[in-house]
Amino acid sequence: MISCGEASGDLYARALVHAMQQQAPGTTAFGFGGAQLAATGAELIGDYRGFSVTGLTEALSVLRKSWRMLDTLGEAARTRKPDVFVAIDFPDFNFRLLPVLHKLDIPIVYYISPQLWAWRAGRLKTLKKYVSKMLVIFPFEEAIYADAGVPVEFVGHPLIDLAVATRSRGETCRAAGLDPDRPVVALLPGSRPNELRLLLPTLVESAMRVAREVPGVQFLVARAPALDDELFASLQVLQTAGLTMAVLDGKTDDVLEAADVVITASGTATVQTALHHRPMVIVYRVSPVTYAIARRFVRVANYGMVNLVAGRSVVRELIQEACTAEAIAAEVCSLLTDGARVDIMRRDVEEVVQKLGGPGAAGRAAAAVLAVAGDHASRQALTENAPGSTRPNRS
């Protein structure tokens, strides 16, 4: 049984299930996810679309249907009794499933760590209580969980295998109606509806400013799957202004391969951008109430994963009040025109990539999940075959 609640988690779930099916033919899966998980043959009990938001106040808008889905998944677990449950990130939802699955004596693997090291560190106690194994994708996370007494394994980042473009820069540009000989700025505004509502209009305004400073600049927007058209309505401003702009749906790696500079929302996309060795500026904004509450608990100096893995600021972050069209445009123009600065950023980003582990992360994660399931099955068999046991012999 698997639960993943956003586009990146859905992608990782697909790779994980494929790897398990290769290592243990006949493996089946069901649970909460999206089209990527379903592509493995897994049965979707629930679709994550409409559940994925960021922020404390934003989560209130989906609370009621989240509780209904949790009840549905809990009942499915009671009925089907899976050999193992894999929670993939999405902590505000998945943490509520942990005690339910634990009570049913179903072993739990947590794949893709919630950012507890940044805030809400008290949740480490919850993971220690319920989780059989943490599978982390960033090297600095392993010591955090080990020190807290949580069984942990660093498996590397799955995007190393997944962040592969299907077309060259020239092919992508020509297919999108862009000129590969002119500069291309990529816009990665996020995969959650509330992210786009808060970020994309500002990115559009910043693009207008960049166009005034850099002749011939073009814009390529990466559209995450399962998003409504209305979220991208602000892009019409660029078209009305006569700027060269195109949108690619579900082709983020192609967009990154074609880009000279990337404006990316903080999150998985920053790692994806790093794997394509592209200079970037990280942007993010949540509701004022969410930010006011969260900043009291945040314990890290940087938000972007690239900077966190590097252990220092190698990419500029424009967060909340600093996330203005003027500041974004100034950073993009600098990266488009200052070759020496771009060379330094590329070198720093390459150091980050080297810390993410080698290829094969999904395979290592699959082996760990299957090992947990196997250990659980062995313990059950010993219990059922013990002298005096009244449970049926399943051997």
CATH number of the CATH domain containing 64: 3.40.50.2000
Is 101 part of any domain? yes
pTM more than 0.75: yes
Q: Are residues 251 and 297 in the same domain?
A: yes
Which residues does 97 contact at the CB level (< 8 Å), separation at least 6? 3, 70, 73, 74, 85, 87
CB of 48 within 8 A of CB of 42? no
CB-based contacts of 103, cutoff 8 Å, min separation 6: none
Q: Give me the chain's average pLDDT, please.
A: 90
Q: What is the pLDDT of residue 392?
A: 42
CB atoms within 10 A of CB 186: 26
Looking at the structure, do residues 182 and 293 belong to the same domain, yes or no?
Answer: yes
Comparing CA positions, the residue from 63, 11, 20 lying closest to residue 364 is 20
**pLDDT for 393:** 40
Which residues on adjacent β-strands are paired with residue 339?
Answer: none
Query: Is 394 a domain residue?
Result: no
| Residue 286 predicted with pLDDT over 80 | no
Report the share of the chain in percent with pLDDT over 70.
89
Nearby residues of 100 by Cβ (< 8 Å), 6 or more positions away? 70, 73, 74, 77
Does residue 238 share a domain with residue 106? Answer: no
Task: Residue count of the chain, please give it.
Answer: 395
Q: Are 227 and 249 in contact (CB under 8 A)?
A: no
Whose CA is closest to 207, among 179, 236, 181, 178? 236
Instruction: Tell me, yes or no, whether 117 and 28 share the same domain.
Output: yes
Q: 68-103 burial, b if ≥16 CB within 10 A, otherwise e? A: ebbeebbebbeeeebbbbbbbbbbbbbbebbebbbe
325 and 181 share a domain?
yes
Do 188 and 253 share a domain, yes or no?
Answer: yes
Angle at 50 between CA 45 and CA 51, to 5 degrees: 70
Domain housing 372: 2-156+360-385
- Reported as a pLDDT band with limits 50, 70 and 90, residue 389 is low
| Res. 157: pLDDT tops 70 | yes
State the CB neighbour count (10 A cutoff) for residue 242: 8
14 shares its domain with 116? yes
- What's the pLDDT tens digit per position in 302-361? 778 999 999 899 999 999 899 999 999 999 999 999 999 999 999 999 999 999 999 999
Q: Is residue 390 part of a domain?
A: no
Q: Are residues 109 and 242 in the same domain?
A: no
Residue 36: inside a domain: yes
68 & 206 share domain: no
The count of domains in the chain is 2
